[in-house]
Structure 1
Amino acid sequence: MAFVNSERRRDYTHHPIPGWGERVISAAFTTQSRHVEESIRAVAVSLSRFWIARGGCTVMASSALFVCLGNICRSPIAEAVFRKMVTEQGVADQWHIDSAGTYGHEAGSPADYRSQACLRKHKLSTNHIAREITKDDFKTFDYIFCMDESNLRDLQRSAKNVSNCKANIDLLGKFDPQKQLIIKDPYYGGDEGFEEVYQQCLRCCKAFLSSVA
């Protein structure tokens, strides 16, 4: 049973990604291995919380998880944008960054080909494989940023069922200097929708990083 029961579902009968059906079948056979991967990921995030010695001072590693519905459109873009940003600012070793979805139907799939094309346009890339958010994510990530109010409701409802939830859960759009609170799902639209997602994520991630610097 999925950990998060989303209020919104996509019509997957007309999926724009060639070979999607085969990937879903393949993903079904890798459920057990994903459970192992999730456990390893939780340990990795926990380890990242240790104090890191750098140049005579110590800094505490932080962690951010970007979340959308299926983890193939918006959240992989946000993850890639934020990874580049912390790398350019020389603080990549101070962050653990990942993305996930509130709904596991896309688990095992790569990012949407339009998301990948948008990232390539901006000299970015992602090899992220979609996954569903887990209980451990709520316990280990400092920040969980979602894209719309449906995501937020799902996450807040799930967080209530997690003991020792430490994550600060909020809309990524709250950091948008242009006050565009919602980062809309571009799944059913054209390339322009993915570009808009990229630009919003760029603005929001920059503002967020500045706020915690």
Structure 2
Amino acid sequence: MTSPPTRIYRVTIVCLGNICRSPIGEAVLRERLTRSGLAGVVEVDSAGTGDWHVGQGANPRSVQVLDDHGYAHHHTARQIDERWFADIDLVIAMDTANYADLKALIPSTAHHVELRMLRSFDPALAGISEPDARLDVPDPYHGTDEDFITVLHMVESAVDGLMGELPELIAVAR
């Protein structure tokens, strides 16, 4: 007797244009999932709330910071819309503006979708209720190369916290 197929738990990480922060988040989470053996259980992708960069690759500075820190990546920017929520279990916003945009976009019938801010998973920020600007991952688009490194470190800390919560999130979704 074979067991029924396990349903894939789907995570989508969202920023404004899907070329800076969310591709970094996607690459970091994908690496952590692979390392932990959860890559076959959890699927991750990313999107933007805006359409300015649809079809483009990640920002060259995002690519550089991922390369410099050993993260595999391949990315084409996409825009999230209400149809995505039929398949998403967890949608993760990079900042409070993304959170508000996503909250307005999630159909009222998508009761299974959990909306969180990425840094709400960071243990160092425990106790801060969402949405809160203290949980924002700042958009480095107009910033310096150092700003992209700062974003990577914020993402890594939050993703490490998310990895600790994933087993429970997956169990609740099933």
How big is the shift at 1:138? 1.4
How big is the shift at 1:164? 3.2
Contact residue 81 and residue 105 of structure 2 kept, 8 A: no
2:124 pairs with 1:168: no
What is the SS of the residue equivalent to 1:96?
strand
What is the letter of the counterpart of residue 200 of structure 1?
M
Residue of structure 1 in register with 2:54 after alignment: 107
The share of aligned pairs that are identical, in percent, is 34
Bigger shift: 193-202 or 63-72?
193-202
Within 5 Å, which residues of 2 pair with 1:38-57? 51-52=4-5
Residue of structure 2 in register with 1:205 after alignment: 159
- CA deviations 1:182-209 (Å, max 9, x no partner) are 1000001111111111111111111111
Contact residue 140 and residue 166 of structure 1 kept, 8 A: no
Output the CA distance in 1 between the equivalents of 2:166 and 2:117.
16
Q: Select 2:81's aligned residue among 134, 146, 152.
A: 134
How big is the shift at 1:165? 4.9
What is the SS of the residue equivalent to 2:137?
coil
How big is the shift at 1:60? 3.9
Contact residue 111 and residue 126 of structure 1 kept, 8 A: no
Output the CA distance in 1 between the equivalents of 2:108 and 2:56.
27
Q: Select 2:139's aligned residue among 185, 190, 213.
A: 185
- CA deviations 1:57-97 (Å, max 9, x no partner) are xx542110000000000000000000000100111101111
Output the CA distance in 1 between the equivalents of 2:7 and 2:102.
25
Residue of structure 2 in register with 1:77 after alignment: 24
- CA deviations 1:109-137 (Å, max 9, x no partner) are 10000000000011113211000002222
Residue of structure 1 in register with 2:131 after alignment: none
What is the SS of the residue equivalent to 2:110?
coil
Within 5 Å, which residues of 2 pair with 1:51-66? 51-52=4-5, 59-66=6-13
Output the CA distance in 2 between the equivalents of 1:89 and 1:113.
28
* Structure label with greater radius of gyration: 1
Output the CA distance in 1 between the equivalents of 2:121 and 2:163.
10
How big is the shift at 1:170? 1.4
Contact residue 18 and residue 53 of structure 2 kept, 8 A: yes
- CA deviations 1:132-190 (Å, max 9, x no partner) are 0022221211100011100011000111x453353101111111123251100000111
What is the SS of the residue equivalent to 2:11?
strand
What is the SS of the residue equivalent to 1:67?
strand
Query: What TM-score comes out, normalization by structure 1 length?
Result: 0.70
Distance 1:113 1:146, change over 3 A: same
Residue of structure 2 in register with 1:124 after alignment: 71
